């Protein structure tokens, strides 16, 4: 019988749970496999996952089209090994979350608020996804 390491539970938190945290959840599931259980939530969840977040992840071979924004309260009573805030607003609103053993803050600009042309907005989503992938890869190693 092989000893398998315990699955780490990681929760990503942002304001709307419609872009950064959803992309992070998808990336962590994809890169971490069975070593992690990835979740995401928002302090003020939006109506839907941003279409450009879905598109950006699809281009990386990751399907988040079935994801739905969720409030942090959905996870009340659950414990996590790590809580990662990915926006300054969520970091300020949630200075302490009793369900997490450890906490990190990865401040990233909100690609959903990026101005400009469609291509410039897409570039903002790609930039956020690249930054998340780098940090998640470091976290896993």
Write out the catalytic residue numbers. 14, 87, 94
- Three-state helix/strand/coil letters over 88-128: HHHHHHCCCCCCEEEEEECCCCCHHHCCCCHHHHHHHHHHH
Shortest CA distance to 51 belongs to which of 107, 122, 117, 116? 122
Q: Is 9 helix (H, G, I), strand (E, B) or coil?
A: strand
User: Where in the chain does DSSP place strands (E)?
Assistant: 8-14, 36-42, 80-85, 100-105
* Token pair belonging to 99: 């369900």
Phi/psi of residue 48, nearest 5 degrees: -155, 165
């Amino acid at each position: 019988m092989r000893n398998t390491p315990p699955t780490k539970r990681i929760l990503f938190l942002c304001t709307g749970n419609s872009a950064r945290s959803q992309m992070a959840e998808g990336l962590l599931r994809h890169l971490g496999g069975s070593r992690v259980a990835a979740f995401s939530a928002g302090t003020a969840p939006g109506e839907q996952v941003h279409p450009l977040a879905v598109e950006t992840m699809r281009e990386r071979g990751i399907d988040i089209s079935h994801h739905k924004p969720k409030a942090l309260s959905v996870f009340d009573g659950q414990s996590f090994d790590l809580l990662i805030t990915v926006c300054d607003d969520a970091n300020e609103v949630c200075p302490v979350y009793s369900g997490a053993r450890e906490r990190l803050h990865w401040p990233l600009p909100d690609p959903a608020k990026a101005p400009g042309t469609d291509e410039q907005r897409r570039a903002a989503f790609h930039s956020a996804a690249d930054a998340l992938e780098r940090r998640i890869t470091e976290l896993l190693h």
